[in-house]
Amino acid sequence: MTTRREFIKSAAFASAGLAVGGLSTKTNAASYSRIVGSNKKVNLAHIGIGNRGWEIMNDFDKTGLANVVALCDVDLGAEHTKKALAKFPNAKRFKDFREMFDKMGNEIEAVAIATPDFAHFPAVMMSMAEGKHVYVEKPLSRTFHETELLIQAAKKYPKVVTQMGNQGHSEANFFQFKAWKEAGIIKDVTAITAHMNNARRWHGWDTDIKKFPDAEPIPETLDWDTWLMARDYHDYNKDFHYGQWRCWYDFGMGALGDWGAHIIDTAHRFLDLGLPEEVTPLKLSGHNDFFFPMSSTIEFKFPKRGNMPPVVITWYDGVDNIPTVPEGYGVSELDPNIPSVGGGQIQPAKLNPGKEIYSKELTFKGGSHGSTLSIIPEEKAKDMEKNLPEVPKSPSNHFANFLLACQGKEESRSPFEISGPLSQVFCMGVAAQRLNRKIVFDRETKRVTNDAFADAFLTGEPPRKGWEDFYKI
């Protein structure tokens, strides 16, 4: 049964919604508290408060710009949600975001969503229709179609601030890439190699799988039916929950959806890549119908754009699926600013997460998240040093940027119009990965032209009964 059924019909009021403030200014990350009017904090609700949700809550709290008014999680009382409940004891508590909006929608100005990938969409759609500003973890959603609907919703509610959680869009790499592109240092890019070769949760699982794992007793604290949201029903199993959802095609987006937004985001934006014309799985080790391969090599072909040449991005994941690096690559460094994963730091690998960008004249080496690019080999970097432009510092981190945008003081750096097409690239990659077939795509019609099944796959399964209204704009 759907609650808040009228949210779509009555959502027009959101179009007339106002940001918390109306002043436009820039600010330094160390001076948020000195902004005129900053004592008016944004009333923020968190949907998903365990694991990554807990980390996000702390990042928002450190800005001093948020007033946490509500906490929502389907597993309230579980060990991984207790810290959040203890830190914000005065925030109202809910297991269902629909009930949260029913009971205190007027008290909420913005929401931060850190649910599993498949569960982003319903919460985001209702939040936007309710006129609430939305911060959501990457990728935006699990399917191409859901992401397209979110892009359309952002256009329908232009005064709703949106932000995807790819933090690098507010860090040094963003401003460096932008400055180097505008100065003509980064130009005529033809190829990008992107890689994430760390061990993943599903590595070591039996790839000869024939069915989903058997049903197990549902934990007493967990509202499993709400956890599933619009997905078709699956019996509970611990390997679907507590972060394990990322392993399964039905729930997550694998290594590509998890890390792609942190590795290729700036190239995608500033090279105006948009959507690819072809996506080809070149290697899928341990391919099966249920969870992601042990390793994948996926090729994305983007066409010529204006005076920019075609670009081929080749994605590598898997512990032993390491791409060849160019001569003069040097040491593979790990960005110290990468957030913790499940409470622990990512461990160094044979080749750390990052990318190599090849232009007609220069080769660039880059890492993940906010790590900056360097020109290789070192001798070439020294020759180019005097030609490099000054790179401005970020006026705010990603979390402060969102809240300041809610206040009307900055513009969101990763709104859905930018992060949506990037997320759709990952959706197309996962489709080619799961189906193990090449996808030929028409960028104008946004349809697969060589495979009717793959075309339907980009839409995905119909929502579970009771969730249909969330798919209407």
Instruction: List, as one string, the DSSP characters of 196-216.
Output: E-S--TTTTS-S---SPPPP-
Clarify whether residues 151 and 191 are in a common domain.
Answer: no
Among 318, 343, 14, 329, which residue's Cα sits nearest to residue 155? 14
9 occurs within a structural domain: yes
Task: Report helix, strand or coil for 292.
Answer: coil
Amino acid at 170: S
* Number of helical (H) and strand (E) elements in the chain, helices listed first: 13, 15
Report the relative pairing of strands 363-366 and 374-376 from DSSP bridges: antiparallel
Among 446, 352, 466, 375, which residue's Cα sits nearest to residue 145? 446
Clarify whether residues 82 and 133 are in a common domain.
Answer: yes
438 occurs within a structural domain: no
H or E element that contains 439: strand 439-442
Clarify whether residues 52 and 129 are in a common domain.
Answer: yes
The answer for residues whose C-beta is within 8 angstroms of residue 335's C-beta and 6 or more apart is: 352, 353, 367, 368, 369, 370, 371
362 occurs within a structural domain: yes
Neighbours of 197 (CB within 10 A): 22
Clarify whether residues 255 and 295 are in a common domain.
Answer: yes
The whole-number pLDDT of residue 1 equals 44
CATH number at residue 30: 3.40.50.720
Which own/partner pairs from 450-457 qualify as long-range (CB within 8 Å, at least 24 positions apart)?
457/431
Number of structural domains found in the chain: 2
List 244's β-bridge partners, or say none. none
Enter the tokens of residue 139. 């990728």
Give the dihedral of Cα atoms 122, 128, 130, 135; nearest 10 deg: 90
Which own/partner pairs from 449-454 qualify as long-range (CB within 8 Å, at least 24 positions apart)?
none
The whole-number pLDDT of residue 328 equals 86
CA atoms within 13 A on the CB side of 37: 14
51 occurs within a structural domain: yes
Where b means 16+ CB within 10 Å and e means fewer, 57-92 reads: bebbbebebbebbbbbbbbbebebbeebeeebeebb
Summarised one tens digit per residue, pLDDT across range 162-172 is: 999 999 999 99
| Rounded Cα distance, 188 and 362, in Å | 9
Clarify whether residues 286 and 352 are in a common domain.
Answer: yes
254 occurs within a structural domain: yes
Clarify whether residues 134 and 280 are in a common domain.
Answer: no
Clarify whether residues 256 and 162 are in a common domain.
Answer: no
Residues 64, 32 contacting (CB under 8 angstroms): yes
Among 243, 250, 199, which residue's Cα sits nearest to residue 228? 250
325 occurs within a structural domain: yes
Task: Please list the pLDDT of the chain residue by residue as tens digits (473 residues).
Answer: 455 545 544 444 333 333 333 323 333 434 444 443 445 899 999 999 999 999 999 999 999 999 999 999 999 988 889 999 999 999 999 999 999 999 999 999 999 999 999 999 999 999 999 999 999 999 999 999 999 999 999 999 999 999 999 999 999 999 999 999 999 999 999 999 999 999 999 999 999 999 999 999 999 999 999 999 999 999 999 999 988 999 999 999 999 999 999 999 999 999 999 999 999 999 999 999 999 999 999 999 999 999 999 999 999 999 999 999 998 888 776 666 666 555 566 666 678 999 999 999 999 999 999 999 999 999 999 999 999 999 999 999 999 999 999 999 999 999 999 999 999 999 999 999 999 999 999 999 999 999 999 999 999 999 999 999 999 98
Summarised one tens digit per residue, pLDDT across range 85-128 is: 999 999 999 999 999 999 999 999 999 999 999 999 999 999 99
H-helix segments, 88-201 = 97-104, 120-129, 144-156, 172-182
Amino acid at 169: H
The whole-number pLDDT of residue 343 equals 53
446 occurs within a structural domain: no
CATH number at residue 342: 3.30.360
The whole-number pLDDT of residue 332 equals 75
Where b means 16+ CB within 10 Å and e means fewer, 117-152 reads: bbbbbbbbbbbbbbbbbbbbbbbbbbbbbbbbbbbe
Residues 15, 136 contacting (CB under 8 angstroms): no
| Rounded Cα distance, 418 and 423, in Å | 9
Clarify whether residues 267 and 302 are in a common domain.
Answer: yes
Clarify whether residues 200 and 62 are in a common domain.
Answer: no
58 occurs within a structural domain: yes
Beta-sheet strands, E only, within 269-418:
278-285, 295-302, 311-317, 354-359, 363-366, 374-376
Q: Specify the residue for token string 């760390």.
A: 198
Task: Report helix, strand or coil for 153.
Answer: helix
Strand order in the sheet with 354-359: 374-376, 363-366, 354-359, 189-196, 311-317, 295-302, 278-285, 439-442, 447-448
Clarify whether residues 34 and 152 are in a common domain.
Answer: yes
- The model carries a pTM of 0.91
Clarify whether residues 388 and 414 are in a common domain.
Answer: no
**Domain coverage including residue 134:** 5-169+400-418+465-471
The whole-number pLDDT of residue 38 equals 42
Clarify whether residues 413 and 373 are in a common domain.
Answer: no
